[in-house]
């Protein structure tokens, strides 16, 4: 069926009204949406609480009335509707632009928006021959054949270590910049500043800190399976860099532990600050993706692990967290020790993310058929990351320090989009990115 025809619109409407997933996700969605195929046509979707009443070309009057306009080029809509790019990834990456409407509203109803587009995607999927679909599916179970015996050593082979490789550049940087000691930071003024904060101000900071504290512990506990796979593949440069990676995560655990002990002065159970989406990521998705590598070292499993660890946890959620600390502490000139610790930690993390971008780019370049899997993982986890951000804000009214949820969602989107573009251009053969973020 040809896209963007009346027949297509009718089929999409029927698919929406038959989709249980859409009906469930869109229970609270009561706004019409315009889908703009740039310089071609505007489609008006009359949506009301899980029902689609009509899909037709928008009239000028409807265009004026609509709350939400999602726009992309015909080529990009094609990539989304063919299932090549996950809808939520396309929105986060700015492939689909929100020409009108609130990002906050869209984020709160991300699942509804995703299911809305998923119904259109399903129309095209139904037309794909089963054989072709089989071909497009990544072979999840394909475990690389690696012998336990070493066949050769890189350092005593012709050429030796690849000093110019990105992992070695990161290793050089880590030896200079990653050796700061959390025990050296002076928290005296921080404690005095802390005591002057209001109860709500303290509470939102404890919430953030409790998320970071457990998050750093999780990434320290869960990195080893990836290191083992990289080592087994004989990638000595990558493994050399990863030795610094794990050391740095351990220091980050220590940094937050000191902040709790000496600034916040709390030793009670803080797990109540871990919201449902936070738990879905750090208690479930991250350890599952990482520990799976013990049994399955396939490129697909590695890609899933790095996408979860480096792109979602480090690249989207943690980066947005630093932004929160800076917004609160730096602008007020308070708690200089915590600010200094976060600054040093973020410099380490930028190397971790650069390694993740390198690994994902390498995996997709070597296995182009894995690109849809990467989008699938991002499509599943990015909404969990943005929901984690929303769950912080939903606890406060008014939100302390005048923080605005929309600013943080936009920040998370920018970070995510920047790295996705780097991976996409790298995977398609462009020169490898530099060792700095
Ligand atoms: Fe860390
Ligand atoms: Fe990290």
Report CA(180)–ligand 1 centroid distance (Å): 13
User: 110 CA to middle of ligand 2, Å?
Assistant: 27
Give the per-residue pLDDT at 271: 97
Residues 6+ apart with CB under 8 A from 193: 334, 335
Span from the CA of 362 to the centroid of ligand 2 (angstroms): 19
pLDDT single digits (tens) 23-63: 988 988 888 899 999 878 899 999 999 999 999 988 888 88
* Residue 165 DSSP one-character state: S
Q: How far is the CA of 252 from the centre of ligand 1 (A)?
A: 5
Answer yes or no: is pLDDT of 142 > 80.
Answer: no
Q: 130: pLDDT confidence band, cut at 50, 70 and 90?
A: low
Please name which ligand lies nearest the alpha carbon of 223. 2
Distance CA 120, CA 400 (A): 41
377: nearest Cα among 305, 297, 426, 283: 305
pLDDT digits (tens, 9 = 90+) for 224-282: 999 999 999 999 999 999 999 999 999 999 999 999 999 999 999 999 999 999 999 99
Q: Residue 348 C-alpha to ligand 2 middle, in angstroms?
A: 7
Find the ligand nearest to 212 CA.
1
Q: Is the pLDDT of residue 147 over 70?
A: no
Q: Which ligand is nearest to the CA of 286?
A: 2
CA-based end-to-end distance of the chain: 44
For residues 293 and 286, the answer to whether their CB atoms sit within 8 Å is: no
Domains and CATH numbers, the chain: 6-126 (3.30.1050.10), 161-427 (1.10.620.20)
Ligand closest to CA 245? 2
What is the CA(197)–ligand 2 centre distance, in A? 29
Query: Inter-axis angle of helices 299-306 and 224-232, to 10 degrees?
Result: 140
Residue 144 has pLDDT above 60, yes or no: no
Q: Separation of 366 CA from ligand 2 center, angstroms?
A: 25
Distance from the alpha carbon of residue 319 to the mean position of ligand 2, in angstroms: 10
Nearest ligand, CA of residue 311?
A: 2
* Site of tokens 């002057």: 196
Q: pLDDT tens digits, residue range 76-91? A: 898 888 888 888 888 8
Highest mean pLDDT among 81-85, 108-112, 144-148, 397-401: 397-401
φ/ψ of residue 71, rounded to 5: -125, 145
Ligand nearest to the CA of 437: 2
Distance between CA atoms of 239 and 223, rounded to whole angstroms? 12
Task: Please give the model's pTM, rounded to 2 decimal places.
Answer: 0.85
């Amino acid at each position: 069926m040809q896209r963007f025809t009346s027949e297509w619109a009718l089929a999409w409407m029927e698919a929406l009204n038959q989709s249980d997933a859409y009906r469930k996700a869109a229970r609270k969605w009561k706004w019409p949406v315009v889908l703009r195929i740039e310089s071609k046509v505007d489609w008006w979707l009359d949506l009301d609480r899980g029902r689609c009443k009509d899909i037709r070309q928008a009239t000028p009057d409807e265009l004026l009335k609509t709350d939400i306009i999602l726009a992309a080029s015909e080529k990009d809509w094609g990539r989304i509707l063919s299932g090549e790019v996950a809808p939520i990834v396309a929105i986060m990456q700015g492939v689909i632009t929100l020409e009108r409407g609130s990002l906050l509203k869209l984020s709160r109803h991300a699942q509804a928006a995703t299911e809305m587009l998923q119904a259109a995607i399903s129309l095209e999927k139904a037309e794909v021959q089963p054989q072709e679909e089989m071909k497009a599916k990544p072979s999840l179970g394909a475990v690389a054949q690696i012998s336990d015996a070493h066949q050769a050593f890189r350092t005593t082979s012709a050429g030796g270590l690849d000093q110019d490789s990105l992992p070695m550049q990161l290793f050089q940087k880590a030896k200079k910049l990653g050796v700061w000691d959390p025990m050296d930071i002076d928290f005296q003024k921080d404690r005095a500043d802390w005591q002057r904060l209001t109860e709500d101000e303290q509470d939102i900071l404890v919430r953030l800190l409790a998320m970071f504290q457990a998050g750093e512990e999780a990434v320290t506990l869960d990195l080893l399976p990836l290191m083992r796979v990289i080592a087994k593949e004989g990638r000595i440069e990558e493994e050399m860099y990863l030795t610094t990676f794990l050391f740095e995560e351990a220091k980050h655990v220590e940094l937050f532990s000191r902040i709790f002990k000496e600034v916040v002065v709390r030793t009670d159970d803080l797990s109540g600050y871990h919201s449902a989406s936070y738990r879905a990521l750090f208690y479930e998705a991250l350890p599952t993706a990482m520990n799976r590598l013990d049994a399955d070292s396939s490129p697909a499993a590695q890609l899933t692990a790095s996408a979860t660890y480096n792109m979602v946890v480090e690249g989207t959620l943690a980066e947005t967290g630093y932004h929160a600390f800076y917004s609160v502490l730096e602008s007020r000139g308070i708690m200089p020790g915590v600010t200094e610790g976060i600054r040093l930690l973020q410099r380490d993390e930028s190397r971790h993310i650069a390694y993740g971008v390198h690994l994902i780019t390498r995996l997709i370049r070597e296995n182009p058929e894995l690109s849809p899997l990467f989008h699938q993982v991002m499509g599943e986890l990015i909404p969990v990351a943005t929901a984690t951000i929303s769950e912080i804000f939903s606890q406060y009214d008014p939100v302390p320090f005048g923080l605005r949820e929309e600013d943080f969602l936009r920040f998370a989107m920018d970070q995510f989009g920047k790295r996705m573009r780097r991976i996409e251009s790298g995977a398609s053969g462009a020169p490898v990115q530099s060792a700095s973020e």
